[in-house]
């Protein structure tokens, strides 16, 4: 028997799939049209939703079709399938991972657009950059137009090195735990509720990409500062890894804590609440 989620109508003539399809991609739920999923012939999704029956596809506990892939990056896969155009946000650091997803879904044209350009001297570049002041003044052609910045070996300098801006990013979290009468044996830790991100908008987006939740400050210009962003995960080590990969290092940290009783009885459990901030710098 076909699930109601996949049989509320037929998408294409003779198709066992409904016109509207719900997907669970790595825990992220998407709702789209059947014709969108089969927009690119011979792609993985085309094979799944045109060559197979609903009974052959994996589902989650709520009947959605399940794909064990990156749920955040799938939004760009789906956007591409809608009109076969690729539009990425500014300061998008996940191109290589998105290319891997495009390869997995057999979207060859999308993967080709995402692949870095390789010049004749085998140097990789995605844009023209200017040289640093340490390397001398900007070179110009006879017409006055700027030339591409070259390294000592003559190869184009990597934009991943030269285009990085210096600055500070502060990440903070609020945690709490309860200590009972027997101290260690009764300690009950609560997970970190939210990791906040403070700093320049462009730096925050560069470092954390799609793992950054901008819902509390969605229209902040790139060169403005914000203290309202937070991360979509609750692991500090994951945030530290992201910052380290982007060239940041920790320069300071601070923490405050308060203690309260759950009741007026001093023998009852104590609840400790702390707020900690870590300051990272990239020079």
Query: In this predicted model, what pLDDT tens digit does every residue of 84-101 receive, in sequence order?
Result: 998 888 777 788 899 999
In the chain, list all ranges with CATH 3.30.710.10. Answer: 20-114
pLDDT at 106 over 90: yes
* Confidence bin at 125 (pLDDT 50/70/90): very low
Model's pTM, two decimal places?
0.45
Q: How far is Cα 277 from Cα 265, in angstroms, rounded to an integer?
A: 32
Q: How far is Cα 180 from Cα 177, in angstroms, rounded to an integer?
A: 10
- 167-193 residues labelled b (16+ CB within 10 A) or e (exposed): bbbbbbbebbeebeeeeeeeeeeeebe
Average pLDDT, the chain: 77
Q: How far is Cα 120 from Cα 81, in angstroms, rounded to an integer?
A: 32
Q: What is the mean pLDDT of residues 68-87?
A: 92
pLDDT at 43 over 90: yes
What whole-number percentage of the chain has pLDDT above 90?
Answer: 45
CATH 1.10.10.10 for domain 20-114, yes or no, is no
């Amino acid at each position: 028997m076909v699930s109601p989620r996949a049989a509320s109508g037929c998408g294409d003539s003779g198709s066992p799939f409904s016109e509207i399809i719900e997907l669970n991609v790595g825990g992220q739920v998407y709702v789209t049209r059947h014709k969108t999923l089969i927009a690119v012939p011979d792609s993985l999704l085309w094979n799944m939703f045109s060559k197979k029956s609903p009974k052959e596809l994996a589902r989650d506990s709520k009947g959605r079709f399940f794909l064990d892939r990156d749920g955040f990056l799938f939004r760009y896969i789906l956007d591409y399938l809608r009109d076969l155009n690729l539009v990425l946000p500014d300061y998008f650091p996940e191109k290589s991972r998105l290319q891997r997803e495009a390869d997995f879904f057999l979207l060859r044209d999308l993967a080709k657009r995402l692949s870095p350009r390789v010049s004749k001297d085998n140097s990789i570049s995605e844009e023209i950059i200017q040289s640093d002041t340490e390397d001398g003044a900007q070179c110009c052609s006879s017409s006055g137009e700027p030339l591409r910045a070259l390294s000592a070996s003559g190869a184009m300098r990597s934009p991943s090195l030269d285009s990085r801006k210096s600055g500070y990013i502060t990440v903070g979290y609020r945690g709490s735990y309860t200590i009972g009468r027997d101290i260690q044996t009764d300690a009950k830790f609560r997970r970190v509720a939210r990791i906040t991100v403070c700093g320049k908008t462009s730096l925050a987006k560069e470092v954390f990409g799609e793992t950054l939740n901008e819902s509390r400050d969605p229209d902040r210009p790139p060169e403005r500062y914000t203290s309202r962003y937070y991360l979509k995960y609750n692991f500090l080590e994951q945030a530290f890894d992201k910052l380290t990969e982007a060239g940041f290092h920790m320069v300071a940290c601070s923490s405050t804590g308060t203690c309260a009783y759950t009741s007026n009885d001093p023998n009852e459990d104590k609840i400790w609440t702390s707020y900690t901030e870590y300051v990272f710098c990239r020079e």
